[in-house]
Amino acid sequence: MLNEKQKLMQIINLGLEVAQVKDIDLLLERILTEARRFVNADAGSIYIKENDKLMFSYTQNETLRQKLPAGRKLIYSTFSIPINDKSIAGYVALTGKTLNIENVYKLTEGVSYSFDKHYDEVSKYCTQSMLTLPLKTHRGDVIGVLQLINAQDKNRNIAPFAKEDEPLIMHFANNAAMAVERALMTRAIILRMIKMAELRDPKETGAHVNRVASYSVEIYEAWALKKGVSQKEIDKNKDILRMAAMLHDVGKVAISDVILKKPAKLDMDEFEIMKQHTYLGARLFSDKYSEFDDAASQVALQHHERWDGNGYPGHIDPMTAQPVSNCRTEKGAACGKKGEEIPPFGRVVAIADVYDALCSRRAYKEPWDESMVLENMREDAGKHFDPDMIEAFFSSLDVIRNIAERYPDK
Ligand code: C2E
Ligand code: SIN
Ligand code: SIN
Ligand code: SIN
Ligand code: FE
Ligand code: FE
Q: What's the rounded Cα separation, in Å, for the pair 210 and 279?
A: 22
Q: Which of 205, 242, 252, 303 to mutate for ligand 4's pocket (most ligand atoms within 8 Å of CB)?
A: 252
* DSSP secondary structure letter of residue 110: T
Q: Which ligand gives the minimal distance to the CA of 252? A: 4
CB 372 less than 6 A from any atom of ligand 1: no
Ligand nearest to C-alpha 313: 1
CB distance 170 to 98 below 8 Å = yes
Residues shown for the chain: 410
Model's pTM, two decimal places? 0.70
Name every protein residue with a CB atom under 6 angstroms from any ligand 2 atom. Answer: 22, 182-183, 186, 289-290, 292-293
Of 194 and 115, the one with more pLDDT: 115
**Spatial contact of 286 and 319, defined as CB atoms under 8 Å apart:** yes
CA 253/CA 356 separation, integer angstroms: 20
If one compares 106 and 75, the residue with the highest pLDDT of the two is 106
Is the bond into 160 cis (omega within 30 degrees of 0)?
Answer: no
Nearest ligand by distance to the CA of 312 = 1
Whether residue 114 has pLDDT greater than 90: yes
b/e for 136-160, b at 16 or more Cβ within 10 A? beeeeebbbbbbbbbbeeeeeebbe
CB within 8 Å of 57: residues ≥ 6 apart: 28, 46, 47, 48, 78, 144
Give the atom of ligand 3 at the shortest distance from the alpha carbon of 289: 2
Confidence of residue 15 (pLDDT cuts 50, 70, 90): low
Which parts of 40-150 fold into alpha helices (H)?
Answer: 62-67, 88-95, 118-123
Q: In the CATH scheme, what architecture does the domain 4-182 have?
A: 2-Layer Sandwich (3.30)
Which residue of 18, 20, 22 sits with most ligand 2 atoms within 8 Å of its CB, as the best mutation to test the pocket? 22
Q: What is the mean pLDDT of residues 293-298?
A: 94
341 three-state secondary structure: helix
**Model pLDDT for residues 252-283, shown as the tens digit of each residue:** 999 999 999 888 899 999 999 999 999 999 99
Q: Whose CA is nearest to atom 5 of ligand 2?
A: 289
> Count of CB atoms within 10 A of residue 317's CB?
12
pLDDT recorded at residue 73: 63
For the chain, the straight-line distance linking the first and the last C-alpha, in angstroms and rounded, comes to 63
Q: What is the CATH number of domain 201-406?
A: 1.10.3210.10
- Ligand 5 centroid from CA 252, angstroms: 8
CA separation for the pair 133, 101 (Å, rounded): 11
CA torsion 123-125-126-132 (nearest 10°) is -80
Closest ligand to residue 260's CA: 1
> Whole-angstrom Cα distance, residue 206 to residue 224?
27
CB 185 near ligand 1, within 6 Å: no
- Closest ligand 1 atom to 274 CA: 30
Out of 182, 247, 286, give the residue to mutate to test ligand 2, the one with the largest number of ligand atoms within 8 Å of its CB: 182
Q: What is the residue extent of each domain of the chain? A: 4-182, 201-406
State yes or no: pLDDT of 201 exceeds 90: no
